[in-house]
Amino acid sequence: VIITSAAFAAFTLAVLILYYALPGKAQNYLLLLASYVFLMSWDIRFAAVFLVLTVLNYAVAHRIAAGGSRGRMALRAGVLANVLALVYFRYMGFFLSQAQRAFHTFGLGAELFSAPVWLPIGLSFYAVQVIAYLFDVQKRVTRPVRDPARFALYMVYFPRVLSGPIERVQNFVPQLERRRSFKDHVQLDHNFSLILQGVVRKVVIADMLFLAIPPDVFKAPRAFSSPELLIWLLAYAFALYNDFAGYTSIVRGVSGLFGITLSENFNAPYLSRSFTEFWNRWHITLSLWLRDYIFLPATRSLLRHRTTLSYKLSIVVPPIMTMLVSAAWHGISWHMAVWGGLHGLYLVGERLYLMRHPARPPAQQRRYSRFASSILVFLLVVLAWVPFRAALPATLDYWIGLFSPARWHSYLANTPAPIINIMTVSSGLLIGLSFWLDWLQYPSKETPLRQSPALIKALAINAALFAIIFAILAHGRTPPPFVYQGF
């Protein structure tokens, strides 16, 4: 069941009706049941995998909480088990293909291996969430969840099981301890607004942009002129952002209807003035996870040595290592490693620059300086989306196409076909709409038009509804799935 489908809406509505008729503890059981039904609607095997991992992690967390050397052993075993599950289902294909290639190089049989063909949906999100939980239990940041139903629900809560947000147990589980009741129209207003924003971002902006982008532009960029490469790269950057931000907004809204608040994941990232700020605004829950469980431990471990070398290394290694882990989480491939490495280098460069030129508070910065920083960060982030999307050879071709003066000259000299057409104009409008939504939201206004008169609100909602209907009809075919749905 795709979360923008009518089936998901009907499913949610049915669960909601039952939910508010039940007492507190039964509400959790209902959500747990609904979550497993939701998983089984994808594939019954997914439910089985998640059930096994949930039982395992529940037991391991309690073992860790007991402390001592057995606790530490349990932590290592638990983390290893989750990582192995992730590696097996998610990355085995890559490793086997590399092994196969190596065998082939040495003239050995190439068909020795076969990769598992199915990946439990959302497993990457599940794994990082539960690993964080195990560490937090070990560090006594939180106590292990006693109620198995609450813990199981924390693991597979259906609005967020597909693609996050990655929740910390201390934020999520306390919300399950009391009965949730329908509060007031503000709750409905806020959550419907989130859902509507999310659907507009996904169906109107992201899907329309994805459909506008020529299918071969990231496979055979040489066939495209430099201005086209630029336009479609921008379109991809906004399609990707709105796809994931739209998803997050929808699931936060749906969860809010159940009285459970999920963490924010995006906050106008393309308006960031530094790379650090970008990662605090893009996929926030993953960024925080990376900060807490990779970046800070790596930095602390280097600084512990108190040598000049380790100090210098602490400037360079943790950002690169963190971004490489992030890349690996997104997928093990060489082009993804380039994406991660590039972002690592951006962060290192920024840190080195800030060491010499400490940043002023935003209020003291000049407007043009803030604007220039935003543009620079935006352009470099967009450039890095090329290896995120394209294989390595195509990435090089894409960058050459973007920066080669000869290509630009040849485009301008050969009286090219106009690049202003319905696809590029509508893509520009959609990008503008994305910026406008960000602007409304920036820095933290989540429910735009809240104070507006009722008629304005009604007209705005209608405009959104018609845009959604227009987009669905204009797709004329099955819309693309969420990009992060396959993680």
Partner 1 sequence: LHLHQYIIRKVPILTAAVFILTVTSCELSIRLVQPSEGTYALTLTNPLLITRYTPAIDRLADFEKATKSEAINCIIVGSSVAEYLDPALLEQRYNEQSGAALNCLNLALMDASASSIAVEIGLILRDHPDVRFIVWGVQAHTFFSDVRFAENSFSESSWVQYQLGHFSVDGWLFDHSYLLRASKTYLPLLYVPDQRVATYQENVSERNEHGMNAPSQKGYSAVLTYKDSAPLFMPDEAGYIHYLTALSTPSPDDWHAMDEISALAQAKQVRVIMIEVPTAVPDGLATGFLAEVASYARQHNLPFLTTDNLRLPATAYFDSVISTQRGFIHNHLHVSGSIMFSDWLGTYLGRAASQGAFDDVHSSLWTPARQTLIPPYNVTLGLSPDDYRQYQTYRRTTFDLLPLSTSILNPSPAELDRFFLQSSLGLLFERQGNPPIQSQQEVFDLLTLFSMMRYPSELKFSPFQQQMLEAWRASLNPTILKALGIDYLLCREQPADHPAQDCPAGIQAHPGYTRLGHWKYAPLYETYSLYRID
Length of the chain: 487
Degrees (nearest 5) of the Cα angle 45, 50, 54? 150
Q: How far is the CB of 451 from partner 1 (least distance, A)?
A: 13
Residue of 461, 467, 480, 485 that binds partner 1 (CB under 8 A):
461
Cα 219 from Cα 229, distance rounded (Å)? 12
Cβ closest to partner 1, residue 185 vs residue 366: 185
Whole-angstrom CA distances from 427 to 228, 269, 330, 403, 477 are 12, 19, 26, 22, 18
Q: How far is the CB of 454 from partner 1 (least distance, A)?
A: 4
Task: Kindly give, in sequence order, each residue whose CB lies less than 8 Å from that of residue 344, ignoring residues fewer than 6 positions away.
Answer: 319, 320, 321, 322, 323, 324
Q: How far is the CB of 310 from partner 1 (least distance, A)?
A: 55
Cα 256 from Cα 225, distance rounded (Å)? 46
Of the candidates 383, 386, 313, 295, which has an alpha carbon nearest to the alpha carbon of residue 346?
A: 383
Cα 242 from Cα 483, distance rounded (Å)? 10
Q: How far is the CB of 185 from partner 1 (least distance, A)?
A: 4
Cβ closest to partner 1, residue 351 vs residue 475: 475
Q: How far is the CB of 399 from partner 1 (least distance, A)?
A: 28
Residue of 44, 110, 470, 481 that binds partner 1 (CB under 8 A):
470
Residue of 112, 296, 376, 458 that binds partner 1 (CB under 8 A):
458
Q: Does 21 bind partner 1 (CB under 8 A)?
A: no
Structure tokens at 249: 């907004």
Stretch that binds partner 1, among 151-159, 318-326, 353-361, 468-476 (CB under 8 A): 468-476
- State the number of CA atoms in the 13 A half-sphere of 130 facing the CB: 34
First-to-last alpha carbon distance for the chain, in angstroms, is 16
Scored b (16 or more CB within 10 A) or e, 240-252 reads bbbbbbbbbbbbb
Cβ closest to partner 1, residue 372 vs residue 456: 456
Residue of 361, 367, 473, 478 that binds partner 1 (CB under 8 A):
473
User: How many C-beta neighbours within 10 Å does residue 90 have?
Assistant: 21
Radius of gyration of the chain (CA): 24
| 414-443 positions binding partner 1, by CB under 8 A | 422-423, 426
Stretch that binds partner 1, among 83-91, 279-287, 431-439, 464-472 (CB under 8 A): 464-472
Please indicate whether residue 330 is annotated as part of the active site: yes
- Tell me whether residue 37 is exposed, middle or buried, using C-beta atoms within 10 angstroms of its C-beta: 0 to 12, 13 to 18, 19 or more: middle
Cβ closest to partner 1, residue 301 vs residue 462: 462
Q: Where are the alpha helices (DSSP H) in 184-224?
A: 185-199, 207-212
Task: Write the interaction track for partner 1 spanning residues 204-223; mark x where CB under 8 A is met and - where it is not.
Answer: ----x--xx-----------
Cβ closest to partner 1, residue 214 vs residue 341: 214
Q: Are 89 and 119 in contact (CB under 8 A)?
A: yes
Size of the site for partner 1 (CB under 8 A): 27
Task: Write the interaction track for partner 1 spanning residues 155-194; mark x where CB under 8 A is met and - where it is not.
Answer: ---------------------------x-xx--xx-----
Q: Does 309 bind partner 1 (CB under 8 A)?
A: no
Q: How far is the CB of 481 from partner 1 (least distance, A)?
A: 17
Cβ closest to partner 1, residue 183 vs residue 306: 183
In the set 330, 357, 409, 475, the catalytic residue is 330
| 229-288 positions binding partner 1, by CB under 8 A | none
Cβ closest to partner 1, residue 206 vs residue 384: 206
Stretch that binds partner 1, among 79-87, 100-108, 137-145, 455-463 (CB under 8 A): 455-463
Q: Are 282 and 269 in contact (CB under 8 A)?
A: yes
Q: How far is the CB of 182 from partner 1 (least distance, A)?
A: 6
Of the candidates 173, 158, 174, which has an alpha carbon nearest to the alpha carbon of residue 50?
A: 158
Q: How remote is the C-alpha of 46 from its chain's centroid?
A: 20
Q: Does 457 bind partner 1 (CB under 8 A)?
A: yes
Q: How far is the CB of 450 from partner 1 (least distance, A)?
A: 11
Cβ closest to partner 1, residue 288 vs residue 423: 423
Cα 427 from Cα 395, distance rounded (Å)? 22
Q: Does 466 bind partner 1 (CB under 8 A)?
A: yes
Longest dimension (CA), the chain: 74
User: DSSP letter at 322?
Assistant: H
Scored b (16 or more CB within 10 A) or e, 408-446 reads beebeeeeeeeeeeebbeebeebbebbeebbeebeeeee
Cβ closest to partner 1, residue 163 vs residue 197: 197
Q: How far is the CB of 16 from partner 1 (least distance, A)?
A: 11
Task: Write the interaction track for partner 1 spanning residues 359-398; mark x where CB under 8 A is met and - where it is not.
Answer: ----------------------------------------
Q: Which residues bind partner 1 (CB under 8 A)?
A: 182, 184-185, 188-189, 208, 211-212, 422-423, 426, 454-455, 457-459, 461-462, 465-466, 469-470, 473-477
**What amino acid positions are annotated as catalytic residues?**
330
